[in-house]
Structure 1
Amino acid sequence: MGRRQEPTARQARLGRELRRLREAAGLKATEAAGLLGVNSVQMSHIESGISGVSEQRLRRLAANYACTDAELVDALVAMATDRSRGWWEEYRGVLPAAYLDLAELDHHATFRHDVAITHVPGLFQTEDYARSLFGYMNPEFPEDEVALRVEHRMKRRVVIEGATPIPYETVIHEAALRIRVAGRAATQVQLRRILELSELEHITVQVIPFTHEDFAGAGSTMVHSGGSLPQLDTVVRDAPHGTAFVDSEAQLEHFRTLFRRVRGEALPPKQSRDLINQLAKEL
């Protein structure tokens, strides 16, 4: 298969999973390359997502790695052979790659768990809210650049509002609900939107109120996207250098535990809706 100039996050993830299987088998990259009849550079390209891998070659590697997890192998094959092009492809070369990677991650997710401390979760944001955020964070952007990012964010909502929505749970701190990102009227519309979405069967919204006296999780903001198998989950976090995709098993388990803890400290869904409704009425 040909080389890619810039592998997507999903393609790079496949490569990392293959490397993990090899390392678990105690094989060197040169030994794995020999199994496929390629050189070490080509093997490195496969494990970094720069080069694709066929189903036949992937299954040969898995067999020689003594991987007995048939479900995992099948899931990796599905990743390797997926040739679908989603709606986000129209933004390739127009928006940064991370925007496309996030949309692709949404598309393949089996569930999503969010923790939001200072801003309303992206999938809940109205156009006015998103426009204010992007405009403030990128004051040098012309209006059309901001509009592109807002348009992309609105299209990402298909994952919870489309024909086949995924289960979605989010924990939002009261701070995110009170901050008037886009002014009083727009904030009220934003809160009403959250209330409307919280009534849907596949969506669960919980709020951590200011009155909670023992919450030290201000740095808990995250997006946890479910994979076809738990070991293929991904956590997305904002980092100083940009968007970070976390997928090591130890880190995934850490964030699963963190989400359960934060969710356990939040108000139940009904009380959360009552609080959001109260905040909307106060505006």
Structure 2
Amino acid sequence: MPPRRHPSFRQRRLGAELRKIREATTLSGPQLARILDIDVSQISQMESGRIGISRQRLRAITNACQCLNEPLIDALGNMTQDRTKGWWEEYRGLIPSTFLESAEHEDFAAGTIKIWTSLFLPGLLQTGDYAKGMFNRFIPQLTVHEIDLRAAFRTQRRNLFLRDPRKKLEIYLHESCLITRYGGTDVLRQQLGCLVDDSLRETISIRVIPFSVDTQPGPIESVIYSFGEVPELDTTEMESSRGPFFIDAPGELAAYRAIFGRIEKHALTEDESRDLISRTARNL
């Protein structure tokens, strides 16, 4: 079977973890290839997610690298068996692939996802009209068809995620998110009402950083931190106008956990945040 041209998020992450396991030893790619009796090109292809790997081959690699982290090995073994095709694939070729990667990242998360944003409300909590208002501001201007497709994708992404009882959201918003009128005043008022309703769900926590906090408690970017099946599979996603990029280096993950700890200390309580959101909607 030829190498994959476009490995998925999950396939790339499996390969990245294999590379980390190898690099934690003194083994080079050629040395590991000799131990496994395979072509050296297969090592780089496995570590880039361009070819598949069986659970048996995974165990051979971890044994050769003397990896004793059984919870991680089991979690990676589960990833080798995953052949499901994500719902987002129906949109491939219709919207940018970066949208699909964010959806797959959310699907990859094993439990809680933490989000910090200071520019706009998180995609998982956006109404269709709010999403259209955001996409309508893109430069160059999107067509009506492109806007409708992206908003439909975002709505489906939201609905499917919220139906999954295993997933929990911890949302931290800067107060400025509550007054930026994507789509206009009526759209924002409806969006804030939906935000209040979402805050009452058992699986969602929404907390606001008010203007009264004198310093920004974290980065100004939109940051998404997901908890994996094991700590080694945690992921940070940084959103930007050019699409997301993903961070899985242990040191950087620790830094972002610390950032979320700082944000949590400055945030209003859930009840205080709900009151602020409701009051902001009434005053629009």
- The runs of 5 or more residues in structure 1 that have no matched partner are none
Letter in 1 for 2:16: R
Q: Helix, strand or coil: the match of 2:27?
A: coil
Quote how far apart the aligned CAs of 1:152 are: 1.0
- 1:87 & 1:241 partners in 2: Cα distance? 23
- Which residue of structure 1 aligns with residue 9 of structure 2? 9
Change (3 A) 1:29 1:218: closer
State the match for 1:162 in structure 2.
163
Deviation for aligned residue 1:116: 1.0
- 1:8 Cα deviation from its structure 2 partner: 1.2
Partner of 2:60: 60
Q: Within 2, Cα distance between the matches of 1:17 and 1:214?
A: 36
Separation in 1 of the partners of 2:242 and 2:203?
33
Q: Is the 8 A contact 1:159 1:166 kept in 2?
A: no
Work out the CA distance in 1 between the residues paired with 2:275 and 2:153: 31
Cα distance between partner residues in 2 of 1:268 and 1:220? 22
Moved over 6 A (4+): none
Counterpart of 1:212, as a letter, is: V
| Alignment deviations for residues 123-182 of structure 1 (CA, whole Å, 9 cap, x no partner) | 111111101111212443211111111111111113542142511101001100011111
1:224 offset after TM fit, Å? 0.8
Q: Distance in 1 between matches of 2:152 and 2:189?
A: 21
Measured at CA, do residues 250 and 91 of structure 1 come closer, stay the same or move farther in structure 2, by a change above 3 Å? Answer: same
Q: What is the Cα deviation at residue 187 of structure 1?
A: 0.6
State the alpha-carbon separation in 2 of the partners of residues 107 and 198 from structure 1: 21
Matched, 1:122 2:129: no
1:192–1:239 Cα change, 3 Å: closer
Is the counterpart of residue 106 in structure 1 residue 106 in structure 2?
yes
Give 2:218's aligned residue. 217
| 1:255-274 pair list within 5 angstroms | 255-274=256-275
**Are the equivalent residues in 1 in contact too, given 2:222–2:240 (CA < 8 A)?**
no
Aligned to 2:248: 247
Alignment partner, residue 24 of structure 2: 24
Whole-angstrom distance in 2 between the partners of 1:187 and 1:97:
28
1:51 aligns to what? 51
Distance 2:196 2:242 in 1: 34
Question: 2:236 aligns to what?
Answer: 235
**2:128 maps to amino acid:** E
Following superposition, the deviation at residue 218 of structure 1 comes to 5.1
Alpha-carbon distance in structure 2 between the residues aligned to 1:152 and 1:64 = 43
What is the CA–CA distance in structure 1 between the aligned matches of 2:96 and 2:34, rounded to whole Å? 36
Q: CA deviation at 1:98?
A: 1.8
Partner amino acid for 2:183? A
CA contact (8 A) 1:2 1:52 kept: no
Whole-Å separation in 1 of the counterparts to 2:42 and 2:161 = 39
* CA positional deviation for 1:108: 2.4
Amino acid in structure 1 at the alignment position of 2:27: L
Deviations 1:47-79 (A, max 9, x none): 111111111111110111111111100111111
Contact 1:235 1:247 in 2 (8 A): yes
Give 1:61-210 correspondences, 5 Å limit: 61-109=61-109, 110-158=111-159, 160-210=161-211
Question: What letter matches 1:106 in structure 2?
Answer: E
Q: 1:276: which partner in 2?
A: 277
What CA distance in whole angstroms lies between the structure 1 residues aligned with 2:217 and 2:114?
19
Q: CA RMSD in A?
A: 1.5
Separation (CA, whole Å) in 1 of partners of 2:47 and 2:219? 36
Counterpart Cα distance in 2 of 1:44 and 1:163: 35
Distance apart, 1:34 and its partner CA: 1.9
Q: Give the Cα–Cα distance (whole angstroms) in 1 for the partners of residues 58 and 97 of structure 2.
A: 26
Once residues 85 and 35 of structure 2 are traced to their aligned partners in structure 1, the CA distance between those partners, rounded to angstroms, is 31
1:214, CA displacement in angstroms?
A: 3.2
TM-score (norm 2): 0.95
Q: Percent identity?
A: 36
> Kindly tell me: are residues 23 and 113 of structure 1, through their superposed partners in 2, closer, same or farther at Cα, counting changes over 3 Å?
same
Cα drift, residue 93 of structure 1: 2.4
**How far did 1:36 drift?**
2.7
Alpha-carbon distance between aligned partners in 1 of 2:216 and 2:242, rounded to the nearest angstrom: 27
TM-superposed CA distance for 1:239, in Å, is: 4.5
| Distance in 2 of aligned mates of 1:65 and 1:82 | 24
Cα offset, 1:97, TM superposition: 2.1
Question: How many equivalent residue pairs?
Answer: 283
